[in-house]
Chain A
Amino acid sequence: MMEFFAMDYAFYVYSSLLAFLSVIIICTKDAFRHLSKTLGHIKNTIHQMESDNET
Protein backbone atom coordinates (compact mmCIF):
# COMPACT_ATOMS: atom_id res chain seq x y z
CA MET A 1 0.00 0.00 0.00
CA MET A 2 2.86 2.37 0.90
CA GLU A 3 4.48 1.61 -2.46
CA PHE A 4 1.29 2.74 -4.17
CA PHE A 5 1.75 6.27 -2.78
CA ALA A 6 5.57 6.27 -2.78
CA MET A 7 5.72 7.38 -6.43
CA ASP A 8 7.06 10.90 -7.15
CA TYR A 9 4.27 13.41 -7.69
CA ALA A 10 1.76 10.79 -6.43
CA PHE A 11 -0.80 13.50 -5.62
CA TYR A 12 -0.80 14.81 -9.21
CA VAL A 13 -0.76 11.35 -10.84
CA TYR A 14 -3.60 9.94 -8.72
CA SER A 15 -5.65 13.16 -8.94
CA SER A 16 -5.55 12.83 -12.74
CA LEU A 17 -6.46 9.16 -12.51
CA LEU A 18 -9.39 9.98 -10.20
CA ALA A 19 -10.60 12.70 -12.60
CA PHE A 20 -10.37 10.27 -15.55
CA LEU A 21 -12.24 7.48 -13.76
CA SER A 22 -14.92 9.92 -12.55
CA VAL A 23 -15.57 11.15 -16.10
CA ILE A 24 -15.71 7.56 -17.40
CA ILE A 25 -18.31 6.65 -14.75
CA ILE A 26 -20.35 9.84 -15.32
CA CYS A 27 -20.36 9.42 -19.13
CA THR A 28 -21.32 5.72 -18.95
CA LYS A 29 -24.14 6.24 -16.45
CA ASP A 30 -25.41 9.30 -18.28
CA ALA A 31 -25.46 7.65 -21.74
CA PHE A 32 -27.32 4.52 -20.60
CA ARG A 33 -29.72 6.52 -18.41
CA HIS A 34 -30.46 8.82 -21.37
CA LEU A 35 -31.24 5.83 -23.62
CA SER A 36 -33.43 4.16 -21.00
CA LYS A 37 -35.32 7.43 -20.32
CA THR A 38 -35.90 7.94 -24.07
CA LEU A 39 -37.15 4.36 -24.46
CA GLY A 40 -39.45 4.72 -21.43
CA HIS A 41 -40.83 8.05 -22.63
CA ILE A 42 -41.59 6.78 -26.15
CA LYS A 43 -43.13 3.54 -24.84
CA ASN A 44 -45.41 5.52 -22.53
CA THR A 45 -46.47 7.75 -25.44
CA ILE A 46 -47.26 4.70 -27.58
CA HIS A 47 -49.29 3.07 -24.76
CA GLN A 48 -51.12 6.34 -24.17
CA MET A 49 -51.99 6.62 -27.88
CA GLU A 50 -53.17 2.99 -27.96
CA SER A 51 -55.42 3.42 -24.92
CA ASP A 52 -56.80 6.70 -26.36
CA ASN A 53 -57.65 4.87 -29.58
CA GLU A 54 -59.44 2.09 -27.67
CA THR A 55 -61.65 4.56 -25.81
Chain B
Amino acid sequence: MWTFLHKMASPRYFYSIATSLIPWFLVSGLILMVAGLINGLFYAPPDYQQGDAFRIIYVHVPSAYISMMAYSLMAFAAFVALIWRIKIAHAVIVGAAPLGAWFTFLALLTGSIWGRPMWGTWWEWGDPRLTSELLMLFLYLGYMALRASLPNLAQADKLSAILILIGAINIPIIHFSVEWWTSLHQGPTLLKAGGPAIDSLMLYPLLAMIIGTTLYFGSLLLVRTKAEVLNREKNSRWAKKMLSGDQL
Protein backbone atom coordinates (compact mmCIF):
# COMPACT_ATOMS: atom_id res chain seq x y z
CA MET B 1 0.00 0.00 0.00
CA TRP B 2 2.73 2.46 1.01
CA THR B 3 4.78 1.47 -2.04
CA PHE B 4 1.77 2.20 -4.26
CA LEU B 5 1.15 5.59 -2.59
CA HIS B 6 4.84 6.41 -2.83
CA LYS B 7 4.80 5.58 -6.55
CA MET B 8 1.63 7.66 -7.08
CA ALA B 9 3.49 10.69 -5.71
CA SER B 10 5.66 10.57 -8.84
CA PRO B 11 4.03 12.82 -11.50
CA ARG B 12 5.21 10.60 -14.32
CA TYR B 13 3.77 7.42 -12.75
CA PHE B 14 0.54 9.20 -11.81
CA TYR B 15 0.14 10.47 -15.37
CA SER B 16 0.47 7.02 -16.89
CA ILE B 17 -1.83 5.33 -14.31
CA ALA B 18 -4.45 8.09 -14.73
CA THR B 19 -4.39 7.72 -18.52
CA SER B 20 -5.18 4.00 -18.29
CA LEU B 21 -7.84 4.38 -15.53
CA ILE B 22 -9.90 7.24 -17.04
CA PRO B 23 -11.85 5.23 -19.68
CA TRP B 24 -12.65 2.43 -17.19
CA PHE B 25 -13.93 4.84 -14.55
CA LEU B 26 -15.88 6.93 -17.07
CA VAL B 27 -17.60 4.06 -18.89
CA SER B 28 -18.47 2.04 -15.75
CA GLY B 29 -19.67 5.22 -14.01
CA LEU B 30 -21.94 6.20 -16.91
CA ILE B 31 -23.38 2.65 -17.20
CA LEU B 32 -24.22 2.59 -13.48
CA MET B 33 -25.73 6.08 -13.65
CA VAL B 34 -27.97 5.17 -16.61
CA ALA B 35 -29.09 1.94 -14.87
CA GLY B 36 -29.72 3.77 -11.59
CA LEU B 37 -31.69 6.58 -13.24
CA ILE B 38 -33.89 4.25 -15.33
CA ASN B 39 -34.67 2.01 -12.35
CA GLY B 40 -35.13 4.91 -9.96
CA LEU B 41 -37.37 6.96 -12.24
CA PHE B 42 -39.50 4.21 -13.76
CA TYR B 43 -39.34 1.00 -11.71
CA ALA B 44 -38.94 2.01 -8.04
CA PRO B 45 -42.33 2.29 -6.27
CA PRO B 46 -43.56 5.78 -5.26
CA ASP B 47 -43.00 6.88 -1.65
CA TYR B 48 -46.09 6.51 0.58
CA GLN B 49 -45.83 10.13 1.78
CA GLN B 50 -44.02 12.04 -0.99
CA GLY B 51 -45.38 10.12 -4.00
CA ASP B 52 -43.23 10.44 -7.13
CA ALA B 53 -41.48 13.59 -5.84
CA PHE B 54 -39.18 11.30 -3.85
CA ARG B 55 -37.53 10.31 -7.19
CA ILE B 56 -35.52 13.55 -6.99
CA ILE B 57 -33.44 11.57 -4.44
CA TYR B 58 -31.73 9.79 -7.38
CA VAL B 59 -30.05 13.01 -8.52
CA HIS B 60 -29.99 14.99 -5.26
CA VAL B 61 -28.28 12.46 -2.94
CA PRO B 62 -25.41 11.56 -5.36
CA SER B 63 -24.79 15.29 -5.98
CA ALA B 64 -24.75 16.10 -2.25
CA TYR B 65 -22.54 13.07 -1.54
CA ILE B 66 -20.02 14.10 -4.24
CA SER B 67 -20.00 17.70 -3.02
CA MET B 68 -18.98 16.56 0.49
CA MET B 69 -16.68 13.76 -0.67
CA ALA B 70 -14.82 16.12 -3.04
CA TYR B 71 -14.24 18.61 -0.24
CA SER B 72 -13.09 15.86 2.16
CA LEU B 73 -10.68 14.64 -0.52
CA MET B 74 -9.38 18.18 -1.01
CA ALA B 75 -8.91 18.60 2.76
CA PHE B 76 -7.00 15.30 2.94
CA ALA B 77 -4.85 16.31 -0.06
CA ALA B 78 -4.24 19.75 1.52
CA PHE B 79 -3.06 18.06 4.72
CA VAL B 80 -0.75 15.71 2.77
CA ALA B 81 0.55 18.61 0.66
CA LEU B 82 1.34 20.81 3.64
CA ILE B 83 2.89 18.11 5.85
CA TRP B 84 4.78 15.96 3.31
CA ARG B 85 5.09 18.58 0.52
CA ILE B 86 3.85 16.21 -2.18
CA LYS B 87 3.27 18.16 -5.39
CA ILE B 88 0.64 15.77 -6.79
CA ALA B 89 -1.59 16.58 -3.80
CA HIS B 90 -1.83 20.23 -4.90
CA ALA B 91 -2.71 19.09 -8.43
CA VAL B 92 -5.49 16.87 -7.00
CA ILE B 93 -6.95 19.84 -5.10
CA VAL B 94 -6.86 22.02 -8.24
CA GLY B 95 -8.56 19.23 -10.21
CA ALA B 96 -11.27 18.53 -7.63
CA ALA B 97 -12.34 22.14 -6.89
CA PRO B 98 -14.39 22.97 -10.03
CA LEU B 99 -16.07 19.55 -9.99
CA GLY B 100 -16.91 19.90 -6.30
CA ALA B 101 -18.32 23.38 -6.93
CA TRP B 102 -20.55 22.12 -9.76
CA PHE B 103 -21.90 19.22 -7.69
CA THR B 104 -22.51 21.49 -4.68
CA PHE B 105 -24.45 23.85 -6.92
CA LEU B 106 -26.39 20.84 -8.25
CA ALA B 107 -27.14 19.58 -4.73
CA LEU B 108 -28.47 23.04 -3.77
CA LEU B 109 -30.50 23.35 -6.98
CA THR B 110 -32.10 19.89 -6.85
CA GLY B 111 -32.68 20.26 -3.10
CA SER B 112 -34.47 23.53 -3.75
CA ILE B 113 -36.58 21.95 -6.51
CA TRP B 114 -37.47 19.10 -4.10
CA GLY B 115 -38.19 21.56 -1.28
CA ARG B 116 -40.81 23.53 -3.23
CA PRO B 117 -43.48 20.76 -3.38
CA MET B 118 -42.52 19.13 -0.03
CA TRP B 119 -41.80 22.12 2.25
CA GLY B 120 -43.75 24.75 0.32
CA THR B 121 -40.64 26.90 -0.20
CA TRP B 122 -37.64 26.98 -2.54
CA TRP B 123 -35.24 28.15 0.18
CA GLU B 124 -35.17 28.71 3.94
CA TRP B 125 -32.33 30.88 5.28
CA GLY B 126 -32.73 29.64 8.85
CA ASP B 127 -32.21 26.00 7.91
CA PRO B 128 -28.78 24.70 9.05
CA ARG B 129 -28.38 22.04 6.32
CA LEU B 130 -29.21 24.43 3.49
CA THR B 131 -27.03 27.29 4.74
CA SER B 132 -24.04 25.08 5.61
CA GLU B 133 -24.18 23.53 2.12
CA LEU B 134 -24.34 27.03 0.61
CA LEU B 135 -21.29 27.94 2.71
CA MET B 136 -19.47 25.01 1.13
CA LEU B 137 -20.23 26.38 -2.35
CA PHE B 138 -18.69 29.70 -1.23
CA LEU B 139 -15.64 27.79 0.09
CA TYR B 140 -15.14 26.14 -3.31
CA LEU B 141 -15.54 29.46 -5.13
CA GLY B 142 -13.32 31.22 -2.58
CA TYR B 143 -10.60 28.61 -3.07
CA MET B 144 -10.66 29.07 -6.86
CA ALA B 145 -10.73 32.88 -6.54
CA LEU B 146 -7.79 32.82 -4.10
CA ARG B 147 -5.71 30.65 -6.44
CA ALA B 148 -6.54 32.84 -9.42
CA SER B 149 -5.52 35.98 -7.52
CA LEU B 150 -2.03 34.71 -6.58
CA PRO B 151 0.49 34.65 -9.46
CA ASN B 152 3.18 32.80 -7.47
CA LEU B 153 2.48 29.04 -7.67
CA ALA B 154 4.12 28.06 -4.37
CA GLN B 155 2.31 30.83 -2.50
CA ALA B 156 -1.02 29.96 -4.17
CA ASP B 157 -0.54 26.27 -3.26
CA LYS B 158 0.23 27.00 0.38
CA LEU B 159 -2.42 29.66 1.10
CA SER B 160 -5.20 27.84 -0.75
CA ALA B 161 -4.38 24.56 1.07
CA ILE B 162 -4.66 26.40 4.41
CA LEU B 163 -8.04 27.83 3.34
CA ILE B 164 -9.24 24.31 2.42
CA LEU B 165 -8.16 22.95 5.82
CA ILE B 166 -9.92 25.75 7.71
CA GLY B 167 -13.10 25.17 5.67
CA ALA B 168 -13.04 21.43 6.47
CA ILE B 169 -14.74 22.25 9.80
CA ASN B 170 -17.89 22.71 7.70
CA ILE B 171 -18.00 19.00 6.66
CA PRO B 172 -19.17 17.54 10.02
CA ILE B 173 -21.47 20.56 10.44
CA ILE B 174 -23.22 19.73 7.14
CA HIS B 175 -23.46 16.03 7.98
CA PHE B 176 -24.74 16.36 11.55
CA SER B 177 -26.78 19.57 11.08
CA VAL B 178 -30.02 17.58 10.73
CA GLU B 179 -29.33 15.86 14.08
CA TRP B 180 -27.91 18.80 16.05
CA TRP B 181 -30.56 21.38 15.12
CA THR B 182 -34.18 21.51 14.00
CA SER B 183 -34.20 21.36 10.22
CA LEU B 184 -36.70 21.20 7.38
CA HIS B 185 -34.33 18.69 5.80
CA GLN B 186 -35.06 15.04 6.59
CA GLY B 187 -32.69 13.03 8.79
CA PRO B 188 -30.13 10.54 7.47
CA THR B 189 -31.62 7.73 5.35
CA LEU B 190 -28.60 5.61 4.41
CA LEU B 191 -25.97 6.26 7.09
CA LYS B 192 -28.00 5.61 10.22
CA ALA B 193 -27.85 3.13 13.09
CA GLY B 194 -29.74 -0.08 12.27
CA GLY B 195 -29.13 0.15 8.50
CA PRO B 196 -30.74 2.16 5.69
CA ALA B 197 -34.38 3.20 6.29
CA ILE B 198 -35.42 2.65 2.68
CA ASP B 199 -36.96 -0.27 0.77
CA SER B 200 -34.50 -2.33 -1.32
CA LEU B 201 -36.42 -1.52 -4.55
CA MET B 202 -35.65 2.15 -3.89
CA LEU B 203 -32.23 1.52 -2.34
CA TYR B 204 -30.46 -0.40 -5.16
CA PRO B 205 -31.00 2.28 -7.86
CA LEU B 206 -29.80 4.87 -5.33
CA LEU B 207 -26.65 2.87 -4.58
CA ALA B 208 -26.06 2.44 -8.34
CA MET B 209 -26.35 6.21 -8.76
CA ILE B 210 -24.00 6.95 -5.84
CA ILE B 211 -21.33 4.47 -7.02
CA GLY B 212 -21.78 5.51 -10.68
CA THR B 213 -21.49 9.23 -9.89
CA THR B 214 -18.40 8.54 -7.74
CA LEU B 215 -16.71 6.67 -10.61
CA TYR B 216 -17.71 9.44 -13.03
CA PHE B 217 -16.32 12.05 -10.62
CA GLY B 218 -13.13 9.95 -10.29
CA SER B 219 -12.64 9.87 -14.06
CA LEU B 220 -13.05 13.64 -14.47
CA LEU B 221 -10.84 14.26 -11.43
CA LEU B 222 -8.10 12.22 -13.13
CA VAL B 223 -8.56 14.17 -16.39
CA ARG B 224 -8.30 17.53 -14.60
CA THR B 225 -5.41 16.40 -12.38
CA LYS B 226 -3.56 15.12 -15.45
CA ALA B 227 -3.84 18.57 -17.02
CA GLU B 228 -2.59 20.23 -13.83
CA VAL B 229 0.32 17.76 -13.46
CA LEU B 230 1.34 18.37 -17.05
CA ASN B 231 1.17 22.12 -16.56
CA ARG B 232 3.41 21.91 -13.50
CA GLU B 233 5.82 19.43 -15.10
CA LYS B 234 6.03 21.02 -18.56
CA ASN B 235 9.75 21.73 -18.16
CA SER B 236 10.60 18.21 -16.97
CA ARG B 237 12.34 15.75 -19.27
CA TRP B 238 9.60 13.08 -19.10
CA ALA B 239 6.84 15.54 -20.07
CA LYS B 240 8.81 16.97 -22.99
CA LYS B 241 9.75 13.51 -24.20
CA MET B 242 6.18 12.27 -23.94
CA LEU B 243 4.71 15.28 -25.73
CA SER B 244 7.29 15.33 -28.52
CA GLY B 245 6.75 11.58 -28.99
CA ASP B 246 2.96 12.14 -29.16
CA GLN B 247 2.37 9.63 -26.34
CA LEU B 248 -0.88 11.16 -25.18
Q: Measuring CB to CB, which residues of chain A are less than 8 angstroms from any residue of chain B?
A: 7-10, 12-13, 15-17, 19-20, 23-24, 26-28, 30-32, 34-35, 38-39, 42-43, 45-46
Contact = CB atoms under 8 A, between A and B. Distances in A.
A12 to B, nearest CB: 5
Interface size of B as a range: 35 or more
A39 B248 contact: yes
B227 A12 contact: no
B244 A34 contact: no
Contacts of B33: 24
A45 B103 CA distance: 34
A29 B226 CA distance: 15
Contact of B41 (A9, A13, A15, A39): A13
B99 A16 contact: no
Contacts of A19: 59, 106, 109-110, 113
B226 A35 contact: yes
A16 B224 CA distance: 26
5 contacts: A9-B52, A16-B56, A20-B59, A31-B99, A38-B227
